[in-house]
Amino acid sequence: MSLYVTELRRLGKRRFTRYMTLIGLLVLLAVAVGTFLTNQKIGPEQRAAAERAAQAQYERQVRFMEQDRAECERLQAAGEPTGDRYPDDCSAITPPAREDFEARWFLPSTFDFRESFGATLIPYAAILALVAFVVGASFVGAEWSTGGMMNLLLWRPKRLNVLLTKLAALLTGVVAVTVLGLLAWTAAFWAVGSFRGSTARMTSGVWQSFALTGLRGFALVVVAAVVGFALASLGRHTAFALGGVLAVAVVGQFGLGVVLALADVKFPEAWLIPTYGLAWMGKEIKLQNYDACNFSVSGGCEPDVLTITWQHSSVLLLTGLVLALGAALWSMRRRDIA
């Protein structure tokens, strides 16, 4: 039996891999079920109820305005001070117009597949990326910490070949779960749109946009798996990868965010990794500096804007991937196995 098939079977039989994958899929299932339960299809009955709610809200506001005007007139007639509560001219207290209360404000939440499905791909990619990172780190980290890697290298002395074969087996599992999960995710939210919203106005261009977003999410999951695998191999322990990520999250993100805020940096979010993750999935993200004032001919001040695109994020992802994997391969080739 080939080493690749053996490692693939080892990956599938590990209880940690199964449990982590199951937990990730259950979280995704909870998101889909929660979306289904919190939305509903809008029909004539819901629109009529929204019209009634808008009319009731309008009537309540009219009563409140009439009560306020009567109270204002009473205080003025009695010569009592009105303070800042009422204007000097009580006739200025007038009820709002009926058209100010739109029925669409009172419609229940509904899931429009065309408008909302793209946003659901962000939590899908984030959850699976977390699972892939932890599973990838554990897959090779456990081999180092238990001595399994040393025993394997006695029979397969080609170090890089062994490490890359393990990585190939890991990526096979990650790709299979991510692709199948993405198909199930799309089907689930298509069902949500069909029964609890709308699937109208779907065109080939919209599907192409969703496919590209899904492809970026797929790439994010693969990169997370490789980085987790590489860091655990570099430190020869699962905790090295998990501790490194925790240090980056706590020290490098929260701590850095506080320092940047205290230093009054123009765009502090541009130095934080989650910003680039959102830009990667959403194609771009615009950061604004409200302390700046750029005069506009249309009137008023407009803040400075910094646009971070998915191309900028791709540089960060590729750099992290190359550095982590390159360091792991270099360490595997140069260090003694002991």
β-sheet bridge partners, residue 306: 287
Amino acid 96 reads P
Contacts 24+ apart (CB under 8 A), 239-245: 239/141, 240/141, 241/133, 241/137, 241/141, 242/134, 242/137, 245/133
- 192/91 same-domain check: no
Q: Is the pLDDT of residue 151 over 70?
A: no
Rounded distance between C-alpha atoms, residue 106 and residue 122, angstroms: 28
- 63/160 same-domain check: no
Q: Is the pLDDT of residue 148 over 80?
A: no
- 167/282 same-domain check: yes
* Residue 7 dihedral angles phi and psi, to the nearest 5°: -70, -35
Mean local confidence (pLDDT), 9-14: 89
Domain C-terminal end among 106, 124, 152: 106
- 200/285 same-domain check: yes
- 134/96 same-domain check: no
Rounded distance between C-alpha atoms, residue 20 and residue 328, angstroms: 24
- 166/28 same-domain check: yes
Say which residue, 190 or 78, is predicted with more confidence. Answer: 190
- Tell me the pLDDT band of 179, cut-offs 50, 70 and 90: very high
Mean local confidence (pLDDT), 36-61: 90
CA distances (Å), origin 117, targets 38, 181, 193, 207: 15, 15, 9, 10
Range of the domain at 197: 3-40+111-334
Say which residue, 75 or 310, is predicted with more confidence. Answer: 310
Q: Is the pLDDT of residue 27 over 70?
A: yes
In the chain, the percentage of residues whose pLDDT exceeds 90 is 40
Q: Is the pLDDT of residue 124 over 80?
A: yes
Q: Is the pLDDT of residue 127 over 60?
A: yes
- 149/89 same-domain check: no
CA distances (Å), origin 163, targets 127, 169, 191: 26, 10, 42
**What's the token pair of residue 58?**
């309008």
- 52/134 same-domain check: no
Q: Where are the beta strands (DSSP E) in the chain?
A: 111-112, 197-198, 284-295, 301-309
Rounded distance between C-alpha atoms, residue 176 and residue 109, angstroms: 34
For residue 338, give the 3-state DSSP assignment.
Answer: coil
- 268/325 same-domain check: yes
**What's the token pair of residue 290?**
């409200």
pLDDT tens for each residue of 80-106 = 776 677 887 787 888 888 888 888 888
**What's the token pair of residue 5?**
């098939």
Contacts of 131 (CB under 8 A, 6+ apart): 20, 21, 23, 24
**What's the token pair of residue 127?**
């959850």
pLDDT tens for each residue of 250-292 = 666 777 777 777 777 788 888 888 889 999 998 899 888 776 6
Amino acid 271 reads W
Domain C-terminal end among 106, 128, 158: 106
- 65/197 same-domain check: no
Whole-number pLDDT of residue 335: 60
CB 267 within 8 A of CB 287: yes
* Domain total of the chain: 2
Whole-number pLDDT of residue 161: 81
* Residue 288 dihedral angles phi and psi, to the nearest 5°: -120, 140
β-sheet bridge partners, residue 286: 307
- 253/323 same-domain check: yes
- 190/287 same-domain check: yes
**Region of 236 on the Ramachandran plot (φ > 0 left; ψ -120 to 50 alpha; else beta):** left
In the chain, the percentage of residues whose pLDDT exceeds 70 is 89
Helix (H) / strand (E) element for 125: namely helix 113-146
Rounded distance between C-alpha atoms, residue 277 and residue 248, angstroms: 15
Q: Is the pLDDT of residue 196 over 80?
A: yes
> Do the strands 284-295 and 301-309 form a parallel or antiparallel pair, or are they unpaired?
antiparallel
Domain C-terminal end among 90, 106, 122: 106
pTM across the whole model: 0.83
Rounded distance between C-alpha atoms, residue 267 and residue 288, angstroms: 7
Whole-number pLDDT of residue 212: 95
Q: Is the pLDDT of residue 225 over 50?
A: yes
Q: Is the pLDDT of residue 337 over 60?
A: no
- Tell me the pLDDT band of 338, cut-offs 50, 70 and 90: very low
Rounded distance between C-alpha atoms, residue 216 and residue 282, angstroms: 9
- Compute the chain's Rg from CA coordinates: 29
